[in-house]
Structure 1
Amino acid sequence: MTAIRRGEVLIFKGCNFFRQRLVLSVLSSKSVKITDIRTLDDAPGLKEFEVSLVRLLDKVTNGTVIEINDEGTSIYFQPGLLYGGTIEHDCSLERGIGYYLEALFMLSLFCKKPLNATLRGVTNTNIDPSVDLLKTSMITTMKNFIYDHENLDVSIKKRGLRPLGGGEIVFKCPIGQQLRPVQLLESGLVKRVRGTAFALRVSPAIANRIVDKAKGVMLNFIPDVFITADQRRGKQSGNSPGFGVHLTAETTKGVIYSAEAVSNVVAFGEEPSLPEDLGEAASQRLCKEIFLGGVVDSTSQALAILFMALGPQDVSKIVTGNLTDYTVGFLRNLKEFFGVTFKIEKYHAEEFVEGSGCEKVLLSCVGLGYTNLSKRTI
């Protein structure tokens, strides 16, 4: 896991946390070399979705230098300056658009021009967080750290499922000079549940069956539950059949918890999914997110940690549920690229609230005072 430093180049081995390392490379302006990528696999080297990510990062930067060996088992990445602007990108169908969109969430604020990105591919999959999930979870998290969020938006133009995709989304993000410090300790109590069920190239009744089951489960805990059916036809429904549901719970403090479930891909030999099973699974996952608690859900832990580290030279604090493996890896990579360390301790609330879920984690750090040097000044 620990990087080897040779001059200004950080050297890593293996494909773990590949996306994290490239994103932090761009933000820190430090070159990276990643070697021994799947050298022991039957199909060694970079996968198609990783090459697609590299191409996307090249589009949002100017002057990036990329060198990949013939076998694809080693990559040298020298980041250019973040530029942004209007870009279009066809994402690999191996992964969801969410895999690429998360990287843009981390980078877009520090571009020279406001980012207007059109991404095409798979909008909803059980491999990566869906566009719906990132839209509710990460935009809510970002708004805590930025001053201007008027033009921050994700819109789903077309939905697309595996294996053939056909989805299209537009991500817009303003540029910012710097972030603001936060003291986010109270999550509040859940006051309402909202959701969207979709059925693409299958009977519209399937979406209604998902809604009935998911709503039935959540009504056992809270009376304010409203789940809509997103019925799309023609090109807006993508190229593959399937269905799914996305749920959110909002608290009295404005915290959003998100969960989802997407049908299996029968074309890949997976067992067909039942709408009722998906509705129940998404509801149970949402209940788990609520139980874990904190001011950000598990999807946005890494994003919140990044913005805390890059914030002003002041103390920032947030409370989360259990840290995911992805977040732990991100903390380690942050230390490698920026030298930032976090104080991690158990959080003890001043007042005990019944039904507050599992033990919480308090994360605190002093920001680097990172500023957007690419932003045009008058």
Structure 2
Amino acid sequence: RRRRFESPCCSTPHDRPNVMGTPLRYQGSNFLRQRLCLSTVSGRPIVITDIRVNDEQPGLRDFEASFVRLLDKLCDGAEISIDETGTQLRYKPGQIIGGDGLVHTCPPSRCLTYFLEGLVLLAPLAKQPLSIRLKGVTNGALDPSCDTFRTATLPLLAKFGISEQLVFKVLKRGAPPEGGGEVIFNCPTIKKIVPVEVLDEGKMKRVRGVAYTAKVSPQFAARMVDSARAILNDFLPDVWIYADHSKRPNCGNSPGYGLSLVAESITRCLKSADACADIAAADAAGDPERRPTALGTPEEVGAAAARRLLAEIELDGVADTAHQALVLYFLSLGEEIRPGRVRLSKLNPSAVQMLRHIRDFLGVSFTIREDQGDLGTVVLSCLGAGITNTARRTF
């Protein structure tokens, strides 16, 4: 039987079980954002131990500590305790408040989308609409770029009823290692999550993209576009890539360039891919470990982004691998009026762990069956936990 519960800011119409006060215990630093966000939504405390205990630099990294501070700004009444070594984290969630006028400076070790992906999970269930200004790296190699977040992640939220007053603007471009970028993110609140059924991916009809450059020659954008179109035009004629050149004062402190691509199907399903130049690694010609994997020239960046997009399209499924966990998360929060169903490609490690965390925190289990045919996809269905935003005014 599924556990039913209510939390300070989000609730279901059922009684809270006795285990709500018992903290869940995890080990290691993997999937920290998932655990903290699901703990906040469910109201279940957590204890995370052995965070990189065997590493040369044990404990939380700077971007993980920054995400915890961001969570503290977003919520009211949360209790956060980190030991002296940083290898143990205790978190007792509070109420998701939201609000406007929030400003957070992110470390340059991770892209701003690392923090935006966490905000997307919590902001729709806040007491007040969220308006926040983030500062840091807008385009990095470890995370999806801010352009991909705008063109692929936010349209995906519209399928779950989160679309009105959803605003995202890139004010300044910031490339690693010094960053200096700036974005604004506004997210509305909703009363409940609508269960969805998305099974038909459809054929791809067009590709759109953004080739951005900052503190480098504008010709780099044209070279990336030509390299990407040389690959994509063999499969699709409708390819249009916008060149976005940033110069002072609209760019950060470091030079950089990259390409973000999004393919749209006839059923309005989106697949995204991006690539950016690692200038520091490309210049390190004497480093045999980094140079073979570094994207240095604009032609390499454009070709890499195009090939990654084609690989995502080949996997089928209604969402790309970077957004599988997000889709599963919102499906688990849906109303209990009907089950939600979605067809995905082979699940990546983040999506697999999201299924486990959803079972632990929300008591929701997914039914997984292999799709018929030679598509290599699976259909996941579940009856949501019925999470409702009790703090949101409805009159």
Aligned-pair distance for 1:41?
Answer: 0.7
Q: Distance in 1 between matches of 2:22 and 2:358?
A: 16
1:293 aligns to 2:319 (yes or no): no
* Counterpart residue number, 1:302: 325
1:346 aligns to 2:370 (yes or no): yes
Q: Which deviates more from structure 2 when the two are superposed, residues 123-132 or residues 133-142?
A: 133-142
For the 8 Å contact 1:246–1:258, the answer to whether it is kept is yes
User: Quick one: which amino acid aligns to residue 107 of structure 1?
Assistant: L
Number of residue equivalences: 366
* Counterpart residue number, 1:352: none
* Counterpart residue number, 2:273: 259
Any idea what the Cα deviations from partners look like across 1:39-82, whole Å, max 9, x if unmatched? 11111111111100000001111111111111111111111100
Any idea what the Cα deviations from partners look like across 1:209-236, whole Å, max 9, x if unmatched? 0011111111100111111110111021
Spell out the pairing of 1:75-86 with structure 2 (5 A cutoff).
Answer: 75-86=89-100
* Counterpart residue number, 1:48: 62
Q: 122, 143, 146: which is aligned to 1:128?
A: 143
* Counterpart residue number, 1:97: 112
For the 8 Å contact 1:137–1:297, the answer to whether it is kept is no
Q: TM-score, normalised by structure 2?
A: 0.90
Q: 198, 205, 209: which is aligned to 1:191?
A: 205
Spell out the pairing of 1:1-378 with structure 2 (5 A cutoff).
Answer: 7-86=21-100, 87-146=102-161, 149-266=163-280, 269=284, 270-271=290-291, 273-313=296-336, 314-348=338-372, 358-378=375-395
Q: Distance in 1 between matches of 2:310 and 2:142?
A: 20
Unaligned ranges ≥5, structure 1: 350-356
Q: Distance in 2 between matches of 1:377 and 1:255?
A: 31
Any idea what the Cα deviations from partners look like across 1:90-135, whole Å, max 9, x if unmatched? 0111111011000011111000001111111001111111111122
Q: Distance in 1 between matches of 2:58 and 2:36?
A: 20
RMSD: 1.5
Aligned-pair distance for 1:265?
Answer: 3.6
Q: TM-score, normalised by structure 1?
A: 0.94
For the 8 Å contact 1:163–1:265, the answer to whether it is kept is no
Q: Distance in 2 between matches of 1:132 and 1:193?
A: 14
For the 8 Å contact 1:291–1:358, the answer to whether it is kept is no
Aligned-pair distance for 1:136?
Answer: 2.0
Q: Percent identity?
A: 41
Q: Distance in 1 between matches of 2:20 and 2:54?
A: 25
Q: Distance in 2 between matches of 1:17 and 1:326?
A: 7
Unaligned ranges ≥5, structure 2: 1-18, 285-289
**Local SS of the residue matching 1:236:** coil
For the 8 Å contact 1:134–1:299, the answer to whether it is kept is no
